[in-house]
Amino acid sequence: MEKGVFKILYVNIKKKFKDFQLNVEFESKDEVLALLGSSGCGKSMTLKCIAGVEKPDSGQIILNGRTLYDSSKKINLCPQKRKVGLLFQNYALFPNMTLEQNILMGIPKNHPDKLGLLKEKIESFSLQGLEKKYPSQLSGGQQQRVALARMLVNSPELILLDEPFSALDTYLRWQLEQELVSTLKDYKGTSLFVSHNRDEVYRISNRIAIMKDGKIETISSKKDLFKNPSSMNGAILTGCENISRAKKIGEKRILALDWNLELECDESVLDNIEYVGIRAHHIDHCNDSIYDNHFNLNIIDFIEDLFNKIVILSSNGNAPLYIKLSKEDFKDLNINSKLDISIHKKNILLFYC
């Protein structure tokens, strides 16, 4: 039986570029799967290969048991036959077409009731009264709704979202994100969401695939990934502020070389330990030495956030350690004074070669 028949989507493709090689393999069911990675790691190219905009060098792409691409069988369906919807960053609306003309472009030519379907989508996306307006006359939110409506009139079996909020300001970004989440909840099928924004990815997706240099490092549920990323790259992408080189000095002890701090860990440490990570909000302001990994460090500076303050600490001039405190906890602290902290061993992240 063909691999991937019982999965919504199966992807196993390779494509060589000048700077790196795309080499990704994953399966996705009825969910929103996010591809999270830095710029240039291959996220958008993966979507383009699935949509048929780009052709891989080799591999397979199977959707609901249909082969979209198979290099060994010489199969490469054109984008129009893949039943895949792709939403770009700029929505790719036709500027010389009205709202209703843009949506009509997405409806298959042989559809028995084009105007009925057009009216249904205009109403479901609250676009009534805007039918004759051009994209330049629409707000960012209206443009996104038009692009989504145009994509969904073709009843795609897969939705691909390529950084749809990247060019928007913060307030509009939040509004459109909520509208997109509502749309995806009603959609029955797989959605792939590309972003380098960890907060966005956490709110929108069910699972997250961490990408680096054209490869997927790991795929897991968003909660598991943020709790325990399996690589330093994953830790950085999920917002771990404190990372140091590390070496093993005991069965469950390490030396964080950059901070010059000895740490007791919750698990046995392997000989090939390379880095240690600690999230800033997992460091406690605590003057009770009975807690795990208690230290008295120098306060060297502050960073003011909107709702918190970040205290920059150091042990005798070594690399800084960042801790997040509420403004209430922060009020009595001063630069060049000392701060007692504790780091629970269960919150220490270990990364290996």
Do 158 and 22 share a domain, yes or no?
A: yes
If phi over 0 gives left and psi between -120 and 50 gives alpha, with beta otherwise, what is residue 16? beta
Quickly state the pLDDT bin for 18 (edges 50, 70, 90).
confident
Flag whether 4 is in a domain: no
> Mean pLDDT across the stretch 332-336?
86
User: Tell me, what CATH number does 26's domain have?
Assistant: 3.40.50.300
Confidence of residue 168 (pLDDT cuts 50, 70, 90): low
**pLDDT higher than threshold 50 for residue 343:** yes
Length of the chain in residues, anyone? Answer: 353
Average pLDDT over residues 45-50: 96
* Domain end residue (candidates: 230, 262, 292): 230
Number of domains in the chain: 2
Phi, psi of 249 (to 5 degrees): -130, 5
Confidence category of residue 289, pLDDT binned at 50, 70, 90: low
CB-count exposure of residue 211 (10 Å: 0-12, 13-18, 19+)? buried
User: Based on the domain organization, do 13 and 162 belong to the same domain?
Assistant: yes
The reply to whether 278 falls in a domain is: yes
Q: Do 133 and 53 sit in the same domain of this protein?
A: yes
Residue 1 counted as domain residue: no
Nearby residues of 309 by Cβ (< 8 Å), 6 or more positions away:
302, 303, 324, 325, 326, 327, 330
Q: Cα separation of 285 and 324, whole Å?
A: 9
0.95 surpassed by pTM: no
Is 2 inside a domain boundary? no
Alpha carbons within 13 angstroms on the beta-carbon side of residue 229 total 25
d(CA 202, CA 180): 14
* Cα dihedral 159, 162, 164, 170 sign: positive
Reported as a single tens digit per residue, the pLDDT across 195-243 is 888 999 999 999 999 999 999 999 999 999 999 998 999 999 999 999 9
Which residues are registered as beta bridge partners of 34? 193, 208
Confidence grade of residue 3 (pLDDT, cut at 50, 70, 90): very low
262/176 same-domain check:
no
Confidence of residue 4 (pLDDT cuts 50, 70, 90): very low
Say whether both 185 and 320 belong to one domain: no
Tell me: do 250 and 224 sit in the same domain: no
Residues 256 and 165 in one domain: no
In a domain, 48, yes or no: yes
Domain boundary among 211, 230, 249: 230
Q: At which of 178, 206, 230 does a domain end?
A: 230
- Indicate whether 254 and 225 sit together in one domain: no
Q: Is the pLDDT at 6 greater than 60, yes or no?
A: no
Average pLDDT, the chain: 90
**Residue 3, in any domain of the structure:** no
Same domain? 66 vs 96: yes
38/210 Cα distance (integer angstroms): 9
Do the domain assignments include residue 235? no
Look at residues 84, 82, 60, 62 and name the one whose alpha carbon lies nearest to residue 72: 60
160/42 same-domain check: yes
Q: How far apart are CA 91 and CA 128, in angstroms?
A: 19
Residue 108 CA: distances (Å) to CA of 104, 117, 152, 200, 272: 9, 11, 11, 32, 56
Give me the domain span that covers residue 282: 240-352
Q: Which residue has the tokens 């749809």?
A: 164
Give the CATH number of the domain where residue 324 resides. Answer: 2.40.50.100
CB atoms within 10 A of CB 241: 19
Q: Are residues 74 and 92 in the same domain?
A: yes
Q: Are residues 66 and 22 in the same domain?
A: yes
In a domain, residue 253? The reply is yes
The residues near 315 (Cβ < 8 Å, ≥ 6 apart) are 259, 260, 261, 295, 297, 298, 321
